[in-house]
Amino acid sequence: MQVQLIALSDVDAADARRWQDLAADALAPNMCLDPRFLLPALALGAETDEIRLLVVREGGTWLAALACTRKRVAPRVPVRAVTTGGEMLTRECDRQHPLVRRGRAVEVLDALLRGTAEVGLPGLVQLRRFPVEGPLAATLAQVVRRRRMRVHERSRDVGVWAPRDAVAVLPVPSPVDGVLVDPPLSCAHMRTDDARNTRRVARGLAREAGGPLELHDESGDPAAVDRFVALQAAGWKGDAARGGAAVGLDPARERWFRGQVTAFGADGDLRVLRLAAGGTTLWTGFQVRSGDGWYGLLDAYDERFRRLSPGSVGRVAAMTYLLGTTDAAFVDPGFSSHYAVGARIWPAARPQADLLVAARGPVAHAVLAAAHLRS
């Protein structure tokens, strides 16, 4: 196995294919580390200059990859770490854990963490938003025991999601001309009051918009992006003075979004779902598939119907549709705990932590020893 450090801008077509093959076979998939998500981000220009890919490869096969940069551990600590928490990655990526190929995960993750020194990086590694449970967490635990590495947990949060085994997967009728009238809404996992409220606001949306709810699958319609950009810009996100960050406000961000849609769409890994009633668009969501799961990319709703929660109804309809029409193992909207209202409609939550790992070298171990003494 070899360890390499590659600037995002230096990834060529052959490596992009190897990278995507890894993303498809990752032990813990991660849309934010899929090349179809990150490579189009080069449209952002200088914002991506700091991003490097730490790669473990064997011959022509990528076994692991981590998007990272270098950063001080803390403002007053003159020690740098390899971190997934660079400025752009922190702002844009809700999931930052590495891609590790199935089968030899312990060996490969060990090589990734300890290989930092081989490419001139610090031996102290900050893994932000790392899953605390599941196969990747178990793999890290084995590596830590094997190498007697120190690990310090700096903070913890939770991210909501919908694993297939936590949802009552409903049969979804075949859409007629891409339209599903009265789409099913999977609510059995919700608390009684939340399920009742979801059904109530769905009826209210149909009543106020003047027709039954319709779920439109517009995945193959090139004009869907234009309609979405306009819908997002029409709400508060289109007002920069109110803190809005609609993609239409920034030509570079819009190019990035369009690039992602094109890349995922070319592989059939894009679903554009639009909730409408009475000829009015209520919500539109872009979902992409990476590995064996679907991820929420971007969504927006018509704010005239805000009191009836079109976003929540749209997300439930999309979750039901995706699990009912594909073999995906999960749907991940990319929400953390601060989306309290939206989080209530999802069936499960998984903890994620910011970890400091002393992977190699006396400085890294000294920093972690001090951190343990302070905690």
> Would you give the end-to-end CA distance of the chain in angstroms?
37
- The answer on 173 and 148 residing in a single domain is no
- The answer on 261 and 144 residing in a single domain is no
Q: CA–CA separation, 165 vs 77, rounded Å?
A: 44
- The answer on 9 and 149 residing in a single domain is yes
Residues 6+ apart with CB under 8 A from 332: 31, 95, 159, 161, 162, 293, 294, 295, 296
Residues 6+ apart with CB under 8 A from 260: 36, 37, 40, 288, 297
- The answer on 342 and 355 residing in a single domain is no
Query: In this predicted structure, what is the pLDDT of residue 374?
Result: 54
Residues 6+ apart with CB under 8 A from 201: 308, 309, 312, 313
- The answer on 262 and 173 residing in a single domain is yes
- The answer on 260 and 133 residing in a single domain is no
Other beta carbons within 10 angstroms of residue 249's beta carbon come to 16
- The answer on 131 and 259 residing in a single domain is no
CATH number at residue 307: 3.40.630.30
The beta strand positions in 75-218, using DSSP E, are 77-83, 99-100, 124-131, 150-163, 179-181, 214-217
- The answer on 172 and 135 residing in a single domain is no
Residues 47/87, Cβ–Cβ less than 8 Å: yes
Other beta carbons within 10 angstroms of residue 306's beta carbon come to 12
Residues 180/217, Cβ–Cβ less than 8 Å: yes
Range of the domain at 244: 168-346
Q: Give buried/exposed letters for 158-196 (b at 16+ CB in 10 A, else e).
A: ebbbbbeeebeeeebeebeeeebeebbbbbeebeeeebe
Residues 6+ apart with CB under 8 A from 259: 39, 40, 43
Q: Along the 375 residues of the chain, how does pLDDT read in single tens digits?
A: 999 999 999 999 999 999 999 999 999 999 999 999 999 999 999 999 999 999 999 999 999 999 999 888 776 667 788 888 788 888 888 888 999 999 999 999 999 999 998 998 888 899 999 999 999 999 999 999 999 888 999 899 888 999 999 999 999 999 999 999 999 999 999 999 999 999 999 999 999 999 999 999 999 999 999 999 999 999 888 888 888 889 999 999 999 999 999 999 999 999 999 999 999 999 999 999 999 999 999 999 999 999 999 999 999 999 999 999 999 999 999 876 666 666 788 999 889 999 999 888 887 778 777 765 454
- The answer on 186 and 86 residing in a single domain is no
- 280: its two tokens: 């009015």
Q: CA–CA separation, 322 vs 337, rounded Å?
A: 23
- The answer on 121 and 9 residing in a single domain is yes
Query: In this predicted structure, what is the pLDDT of residue 373?
Result: 47
Residues 11/62, Cβ–Cβ less than 8 Å: no
Query: In this predicted structure, what is the pLDDT of residue 313?
Result: 97
Q: How far is CA 218 from the centre of its chain?
A: 21
Query: In this predicted structure, what is the pLDDT of residue 93?
Result: 85
**How many structural domains are present in the chain?**
2
- DSSP code of residue 180: E
The percent helix, strand, coil of the chain (3-state, each to 5) is: 45, 30, 30
Q: CA–CA separation, 240 vs 109, rounded Å?
A: 42
- The answer on 195 and 94 residing in a single domain is no
- The answer on 176 and 71 residing in a single domain is no
DSSP string, 10-79: G--HHHHHHHHHHHHTBSS--GGGSHHHHGGGGGGGGGGTT-EEEEEEETTEEEEEEEEEEEEEETTEEE
